[in-house]
Chain A
């Protein structure tokens, strides 16, 4: 394949108008996911949990693969998988050090289980790969409703605990003294995170969840420290990545994930650039 073939495969807007209606459901799901990723990413960053998210994603993948194998609903399967991982991390990994090692132990185990279930599965092979690297080419109405419901639960739950969770995340000692139930909140947050991961996997796959759950918030934090602006930018970046990614993917014959992750990455690079131009001092430490 030469470069122009690749371009042809990646960007081809010929039948765009015809294809667009086919992905309406995916776009709606993607938009919901953008809000989820933009919001929860801020807390993942504050709590320094990027690695734990990856661990949860692998167990979520195992759950989804198991559901596929036994013919159950894949979203339900991944919710179960990530809930189990989140509970283990929430209960055992209260300190960052422990959490990292537990995540390191869980991750390959989850991935291994998932691969086992997938190799036993005899259905369409596209489904297999999709769980790892993303799939929503066609989201049906039932799936869409499930994803919207999960997204709504995540967003509402986050709003309900927003202020104390922020306090507990940035300054646990003082928050605890102020009467914030920091350990209870951390379990609650793990549950919310588990749901968010389970939804995200449906769109970008287990290996790429960080592109939507971390990168937008990380990018926003590079350019602002105003909490409200951070929220707005983080959501905008996540929407650009996921909705933009789906729209671009339509023009080619490649899966959507590379588009989503590339946009997300470029936004981050641009934000770092802006930060470096604005305050070169910060990087000298």
Chain B
């Protein structure tokens, strides 16, 4: 008898109007497992995450987390979103931002200041952000801010960590640091990780399985099974070549003119479409 999976999709289907993003999805993610979700823009990667957050409802089928139906705001789920800079008008220090991850959803003003403070110190340590705990959030670089978002997501020691392009527009150093923090949460705390990305290489050492979404279909399997010319050619319905260069994976369309999936800078379109519901 195997352990209960952390995340379980059963015959799941998601569509916006007549456009089917994916259907007949059966997927179990085990404790400690690192699942990478790839696919072109608009293939429903962010929506896939939203169904586990409880902010987007499936059209058909079920999704459960740790045996319970998905509930919005559940402590079993942590989210590290895509990096978006904080504006200048945020009167918060790094530690205050992380504190919001600890108890920000509760009403009123914070009473348990000491307890929250200790927890925040712990989280800052965990993501290597103690050095700028008291600096203004708006003074920090994108990578530093993203570490704080990782700390927020870890606040409830979530059973599943949902990462939506968390490395986008970060420098290499922060990319590595944040993927390591996420990997460690999986290994040491047994959290399942769902990692949406357009670029698999930075997380290649950690990935157990890949879910590739494209053209209303998907393919699920190990990196070697999925990242093959034949598999992606079938998914896209057009010639696609998967190349391995110096331990990195490069996906190009048949005529070699563009990389697939297109790099994520026009990802915004995806978000607007999917939160427009």
Contacts and interface: CB of A to CB of B under 8 A. Distances in A.
Contact of A166 (B55, B87, B100): B100
Interface stretch (A122-130, A167-175, A249-257): A167-175
B99 to A, nearest CB: 9
A236 to B, nearest CB: 15
B149 A179 contact: no
B92 A164 contact: no
Please report whether the interface of chain B is mostly helix, strand, loop or mixed according to DSSP: loop
A96 to B, nearest CB: 11
B87 A178 contact: no
A162 B90 contact: no
B89 A221 contact: yes
Interface in A10-63: 42, 45-46, 48
Interface in B59-111: 72-74, 77, 79, 81, 84, 86-87, 89-93, 96-97, 100-101, 103-110
B104 A180 contact: yes
Contacts of B72: 177, 179
Q: Main secondary structure on chain A at its contact with chain B?
A: helix
A37 B53 CA distance: 36
B104 A178 contact: yes
A176 interface: yes
Interface of A: 42, 45-46, 48, 159-164, 166-167, 170-171, 173-180, 218, 220-221, 224-227, 230, 282
Interface of B: 53, 55, 72-74, 77, 79, 81, 84, 86-87, 89-93, 96-97, 100-101, 103-110, 135-139, 149, 152-153, 162
18 contacts: A161-B107, A161-B108, A162-B109, A163-B103, A163-B107, A163-B109, A167-B104, A170-B86, A170-B137, A173-B84, A176-B55, A177-B72, A177-B81, A178-B73, A180-B73, A224-B91, A225-B91, A225-B135
